[in-house]
Amino acid sequence: MNLSQEDWVSQLEADTNAVILDVRTEDEWNDGFIENAINIDIYKGQGFIYAVEELDKSKNYYVYCKAGGRSQQACDVMNQLGFENTYNLVGGMLQWSGKVIVP
């Protein structure tokens, strides 16, 4: 499901079963990420699928990338793998105005 930044953040903050998933590359991750996010690079192809299949399907996943395209793809893949609750951040990090952690 696509959510605006405002809806994504408000839903995330109220969700006690949430996982934040960053699907960008390691270089992008190193430029800064949303607090408490885990990083699984969607460009790793089958490696991405293997890593995602290790995740708990009972959790709610808040997914983002740089602009919203890859995270939408990731949500689609996750839904096909049996994840019921995936939420795509429309606009991604390009439009993110919240806190950013720089490693």
Q: Determine the topology of domain 2-94 in CATH.
A: Oxidized Rhodanese; domain 1 (3.40.250)
**Which band of pLDDT confidence, cut at 50, 70 and 90, is reported for residue 25?**
very high
**16-29: average pLDDT:** 98
Q: In what helix (H) or strand (E) does residue 72 lie, and over which residues does it extend?
A: helix 69-80
Q: Parse the chain into domains and list their residue ranges.
A: 2-94
pLDDT digits (tens, 9 = 90+) for 39-70: 999 999 999 999 999 999 999 999 999 999 99
The fraction of the chain above a pLDDT of 70, given in percent, is: 100
Which residues lie below 8 Å from residue 12, measured CB to CB, with a gap of 6+? 18, 20, 62, 87
pLDDT digits (tens, 9 = 90+) for 61-97: 999 999 999 999 999 999 999 999 999 999 999 999 9
Task: Please count the other Cβ atoms lying within 10 Å of the Cβ belonging to residue 9.
Answer: 17
pTM flag (> 0.85) = yes
Q: Which residues are catalytic?
A: 65
